[in-house]
Amino acid sequence: MALRIIFMGTPEFSVPTLRALVDAGHEIAAVYTQPPRPGGRRGLDLQKSPLHQAAELLGIPVLTPVNFKAEEDRAEFKDFNADVAVVVAYGLLLPEAILNGTRLGCYNGHASLLPRWRGAAPIQRAIMAGDAETGMMVMQMEKGLDTGPVALTACVAIGANMTAGELHDSLMLAGARLMREAMLKLEDGDLPLTPQAEEGVLYAAKIDKAETRINFSWSSHDVHNHIRGLSPFPGAWFEMEIGGKAERVKVLETELASGMGEAGSVLDGDLTIACGSGAVRLVRLQKAGGKPMLAQDFLRGTPVVVGTRLG
């Protein structure tokens, strides 16, 4: 018998999981997502979340409470009489009244190999730390931050040049498959739960704008990981003089290279940049307000003299 599910999420990352559960024949009683936010070119239009838009196309009722402090919001959630709540990148902490508001509880699709990288930015932090592997986990939610017992795991390798955007897409699809399997097992009363290890806990703090500037005094490996961990958003950046004034340039793709020199200095005509140890080659860049472009195209419009210091 199919489950009656409340689905909770917000960004594009959550959409394939919703669709997978619909395709599996489950009844989606309602979708909860973050309220529409100002967006558009001038930031004046209210933009519905990607999950909100997907749910409307599927004909599913959508609710957008700011939080669950109001008793009527908690009561409305419980009145759906759902078997289970599925949570994927919702963006709100759930109070106990919601965690216990369905017959079988809440299950979260989390993008890391718990207990490593609990918290808000597990995809970015895994790459920035140089991890060779991460994954998706379906866990039963409890009051703590990503502390609940784990049901199912899917491991995903992190390639040496993989960006956060590429890893996001791989995990997004893996998570949809895994949650579909988890709900099938839950429906059959055969979903295993294993407590998380007490050792190896790391927290994936939200990315702060202050940490997005590239520090070329780091080793080439750390610079490379930092850049790909922030690509494509929010993007790691350096400053250089363009048209007589300092401009920010985002770096979206790099590769490790050979070379040495003063940290931040341009070593050749291919935009190889010296780091504290080793060097990186800038492969894809983006000027403020411009489109992403390959280094060769960037250099055609913005010549960079060997020896120039980037910082």
Q: What is the pLDDT of residues 249-285, one digit of tens each?
A: 999 999 999 999 999 999 999 999 999 999 999 999 9
Domain span at residue 265 reads 209-301
Q: What is this structure's pTM?
A: 0.95
Q: Mean pLDDT, the chain, as a whole number?
A: 96
Consult the annotation and say whether 113 binds a ligand.
yes
Q: What is the pLDDT of residues 233-242, one digit of tens each?
A: 999 999 998 8
> Do 228 and 101 share a structural domain?
no
pLDDT at 36 over 80: yes
112 is in an annotated binding site: yes
- Measured between alpha carbons, how far is residue 91 from residues 102, 192, 227, 229, 298 in Å? 19, 26, 25, 20, 37
**Residue 270 covered by a domain:** yes
Is 232 annotated in a binding site? The answer is no
Domain boundary among 147, 171, 203: 203
Residue 309 included in any domain = no
Number of domains in the chain: 2
219: CATH: 3.10.25.10
Statement to judge: residues 192 and 71 lie in one domain? yes
Are 14 and 146 in a shared domain? yes
* CATH code at position 178: 3.40.50.170
- Whole-Å CA distances, 83 to 27, 43, 88, 102, 122: 10, 39, 17, 5, 28
pLDDT in tens, 68-94: 999 999 999 999 999 999 999 999 999
Residues 94 and 167 in one domain: yes
What pLDDT shows up at residue 40? 67
Please report the pLDDT score of residue 67 as a whole number.
93
